[in-house]
Structure 1
Amino acid sequence: MHRNGLAAWAALLTGTLVGTLIGCSPGGAGQAVPVAATASAPSSGEASASAPDEEVSVDRDDALAKALKPLLPDGDARVSVAVAALDGATDGAVYDGTSAFDTASIVKVDILAALLLRAQDAGQALTPQERAYATAMIENSDNASATALWEAIGGADGLDAANQTLGLTGTRAGAGGEWGLTQTTAEDQLTLLRAVFGTESAEGTEGADSGLSEASRAHVAGLMGRIASDQRWGVSAAADSASVCALKNGWLPRSATGLWDINSVGRVSVGGKRYLVSVLSDGNTTKEAGVALVEGAAKAAVAVLTG
């Protein structure tokens, strides 16, 4: 694609939004969703067969599917969800986690991870210009900065190579410079979040075996924690009102259908614990409808893990 064509496409993908940086609070578009229990409670007067400290087995994938069912609209909209506790103490949950979706601007996290891996391999730090591009690309979702860094990592080939290191097996870079049309899955996005945020234990946070150094992970996580206020929707709806979360959203109207891709990935805090959440959707009639679907799905996913 010629640079003029790419610039026009990128302008459609997302605008540069600048705002005051704030802590995450629940978005208003999605409503709280009751989660269906998969184990029935004992009837009145019936003693529970479980010991007081015994954990009742729960099929969380099934619980998530039930929780999402009332959110799914009639029509062409699809949603895919993956969620996990950062401390790994609770099983995660997945709904349609391997179906492919356009990334839109959530690919910018992947682009930055690829850039940092290249810098690590070369034994170098990012240049001041690269750091400036990375800040604008993540915090403000600036497309020109994303294009510059896409070219710096070697385009589609560079992203695909980085994803082999990161462990993203179902993600394929967009062809012809169209980075926003990279195809990914909710499970792959959860893998990428683990690569960035690591895992938590009593001893602290440890990095996933993804190739990203501690400094690189801190760089990405720090930028995702400073998203412009106009873009703090999506998975942040599942967070406590007083918590601080880290996220990246993507939104893209498809010219052929007029329908919207709406995606959100990130880390949220609920009840003192932190969770990684990936929600992808397409076929939304409007951006607002897509945001409502993604926020409702994020709330339902976290509720499945928190009970």
Structure 2
Amino acid sequence: MNIGARTRRALQPGAKRGTARMLATAVLALTAIGTGQVVIGTGTVQAAYPAILGQTIAAGREIAAMTTNTSQTRPETSAFKQSLTRALDRYLDDVPGQVAVSVRDLSTGMTYSYNPGLRTATASIIKVDLVMALLLKAQGRRRDLTAGERQTAARAIRVSDNAAASALWSAIGGASGLAAANKKFGLRETEPHPGGAWGATTTSAADQVRLLTALTSPESPLSAKNRRYVLGLMGGVAPEQAWGVSASGREGADVALKNGWLPRERHGGRWTVNSIGRVRDRRHTYMIAVISHRHGSMGAGVKAVERVSRLVTDALAQQG
């Protein structure tokens, strides 16, 4: 399903009503960790996989993180990133709340991060991680997902069903199971909640791009078949949830995304709004993650996430 066109209708929480009690628990458990500073230079969003000739990665092994020597950044690249940072500063100066973005343009190899120190609750973007962890567990047992598991995975991602996410959380072994899977996916800044409040897991924008890399890299511990399966679910989210990083693409772009949104009691009811996804638009393919919190309303958070997504990808497109 093509979801490049944005929609803001039905901007209500995507949780099923029967899980309100669980969400309330998650809200109380959410923790914010600082805001950090802007980082400028090549490799700020680091790939989750090394590009070392001849290296192979077997299923079940941790993927090493590829690092980039920022001292070799070309002057024109550095100037471009500084200019983009100033543009984001100008826009966000008038926006209540805090926003971070990480993006990787697979077509050019260029990366960019803004406010990389920000950590927010995942809310429902964690549902992609949960499905991937379930697939990794099934692969280890040399089996496909059952019909029931596939139905649960589809509900979790396509309609953001919280009961389905809770079932996935239990199936993978809760916090410890997610942490083990994330180690293999190359994540370094995601902390699963130790209880059952999966939405209270904290993450960074860069880690979400690393997770997206696990859906596009042939060196991922997930098979090509399973990677296509998850991206297919993300490309078929309910129309009323097709907002967020979809703003990165023009009309008709191929978008696979997952959003998360949650009012936080500890922030006085202010909203956490996140969006992650792969956007294929003309000559560019972006892996992009925007996380944010402390918005006065869900609609305000969606507007900020979409504006930041578009500012960043428009700037990258002009470079390539």
Q: Normalising TM by the smaller chain, what interval?
A: 0.7 to 0.9
Residue identity over aligned pairs, in percent, reads: 42
Alpha-carbon distance, 1:300 to partner:
1.1
Consecutive unaligned residues of structure 1, counting only runs of 5 or more, are 15-54, 199-206
**Separation (CA, whole Å) in 2 of partners of 1:94 and 1:80:** 8
Higher mean Cα deviation, 75-84 or 124-133?
75-84
Contact 2:190 2:201 in 1 (8 A): yes
Structure 1 residues 158 and 61: CA distance shift in structure 2, 3 A? farther
Report whether the alignment pairs 1:184 with 2:203.
yes
- Say yes or no: does 1:137 pair with 2:156: yes
Residue 81 of structure 1 pairs with residue 91 of structure 2? no
Unaligned runs of 5+ in 2: 1-17, 28-73
Q: Does the 8 Å CA contact 2:19/2:162 hold for their aligned counterparts?
A: no
Aligned to 2:104, the other structure's residue is in SS state strand
Picking from 243, 260, 282, the partner of 2:253 is 243
The one-letter code sitting in structure 2 at the alignment partner of 1:280 is: I
Paired residue for 1:66? 86
Number of residue pairs matched by the alignment: 254
1:175: Cα distance to partner? 2.3
Question: Could you say which residue in structure 1 is the equivalent of 2:21?
Answer: 8
What letter matches 1:85 in structure 2?
D
Quickly say closer, same or farther: Cα 1:288–1:13, change in 2 above 3 A. farther
SS in 1 for 2:180: helix
Cα displacement (A) at 1:279: 0.2
Residue in structure 1 matched with residue 317 of structure 2 by the alignment: 306
What's the CA shift for 1:294? Answer: 0.3
Aligned to 2:34: none
How much is the aligned-residue C-alpha RMSD, in angstroms? 2.2
Cα deviation for residue 56 of structure 1 reads 7.4
Residue 147 of structure 1 deviates from its aligned partner by 0.3
With over 3 angstroms needed to count, the CA separation of the structure-2 counterparts of 1:74 and 1:258, relative to structure 1, is farther
AA aligned opposite 1:67? A
Q: Which SS does the other structure have where 2:294 is aligned? A: strand
Paired residue for 1:43?
Answer: none
- Rounded to whole Å, the distance in 2 between the matches of 1:263 and 1:287 is 10
The aligned residue for residue 42 of structure 1 is: none
Partner of 2:167: 148
Q: Give, in angstroms, the shift of residue 301 of structure 1.
A: 1.3
| Cα distance between partner residues in 1 of 2:141 and 2:26 | 32
- Deviations along 1:188-245, one digit per CA (max 9) or x if unpaired, are 00001111123xxxxxxxx2x3311111101110000001000000000111101221
Contact 1:98 1:170 survives alignment (8 Å):
no
Cα gap change, 1:6/1:154 in structure 2, threshold over 3 Å: closer, same or farther?
A: farther
Matched, 1:113 2:147: no
Distance in 1 between residues matched to 2:26 and 2:305, nearest whole Å: 18
* 1:276 and 2:296 matched: no
1: CA distance, partners of 2:149 / 2:23:
19
Match status 1:261 vs 2:281: no
Aligned residue for 1:248, secondary structure, equals strand
Amino acid aligned to 2:124: S
Tell me how far apart the structure 2 counterparts of residues 70 and 189 of structure 1 sit (CA, whole Å): 25
Q: Which amino acid counterpart does residue 69 of structure 1 have in structure 2?
A: D
2:76 aligned counterpart, secondary structure: coil
CA contact (8 A) 1:240 1:269 kept: no
**1:172 and 1:109 mapped to 2: Cα distance?**
15
Residue 316 (structure 2) pairs with residue 296 (structure 1): no
> Quick check: which has more Rg, 1 or 2?
1
Residues 12 and 252 of structure 1 are in contact (CA less than 8 Å); yes or no, is this contact kept in structure 2? no
* Match in the other structure for 2:40: none
User: Given residue 286 of structure 1, which amino acid in structure 2 is its aligned partner?
Assistant: S
Q: Per-residue deviation at 1:179?
A: 0.5
Separation (CA, whole Å) in 1 of partners of 2:92 and 2:289:
17
What is the identity, as a one-letter code, of the residue corresponding to 2:283? G
Runs of 4+ in 1 over 6 A off after TM superposition: 11-14
What is the rounded CA distance, in whole Å, between the counterparts of 2:20 and 2:172 in structure 1? Answer: 18
TM-score (norm 1): 0.78
**1:159 aligned to which of 166, 178, 187:** 178
SS at match of 1:196: coil
Q: Please tell me whether residue 127 in structure 1 is matched to residue 142 in structure 2.
A: no
AA matched with 1:115: L
